[in-house]
Amino acid sequence: MRERLEQVYQDHRQGLFSLALAISRSVDLAEEAVQEAFVRLWRSRRQPSGDPVSYVFAAVRNAAIELSRRRRPTSAIRVSLFDGTEADPAASAIAAERQQVVRDAVDRLPLRQRQAVVMRLYGGLSFQQIAEVLDEPLQTVASRYRRALERIKQAVEGKL
């Protein structure tokens, strides 16, 4: 069991952290949430009944929500999901601007849509796995993801 969880962590380290960050909007809280989730998973004697990946993502999500409620980020600045220091030097000014608009649009998505995007694109989860994490019907998750993309598209079209 422990080996399986460690394997999930190794395979989805970035996705798990991004999910926690998408919820908490704080690097410290996100890091703590991932740690807290694994502590709970290791202490728990319960075996995951379904997919272990969904199980771990759900644990991280719950820990992040709980920590965010308990301790609001001390800084008013909500940390972006994206690293702003890594600008693509080859990108043109227009492309860079477009990239910035997309980033902002993702950061401004409603929480559930943001979670769906993060799990789908940065966690590599299928819609079925995301549905298990969010405990929602598959169709709801798929349409939410689609709405998120449409929203980002609208933001890009509106700004550029």
Partner 1 sequence: MLDENLRQIEQELLRLPLRRPPDSLDQRITQAGVYALAARRRRRILFRSALCLVAAACLLAVAAVVDWRQPGGQQAGSVFPDGTAYIAPIQIEQVWSSVATEPDMLEGEGQAVRVQHHVVRQIRWIDEARNIRIQWDFPSVHTETMPLQYEQWPVEYN
| Angular region, 19: left φ>0, alpha ψ -120 to 50, beta rest | alpha
| Residue 155 to residue 153: CA distance in whole angstroms | 5
Name the minimum Å distance from CB 47 to partner 1.
15
Between 135 and 160, name the residue whose CB sits nearer to partner 1: 160
Distances in Å between the alpha carbon of 31 and those of 11, 71, 74, 110? 17, 14, 15, 22
x/- string (CB under 8 A) for partner 1, residues 95-114? Answer: ---xx--xx--x--------
> What is the binding site for partner 1 (CB under 8 A)?
2, 6, 9, 13-14, 17-18, 21, 27, 30-31, 34-35, 38-39, 42-43, 79-83, 86, 98-99, 102-103, 106, 117, 121-122, 146, 149-150, 152-153, 156
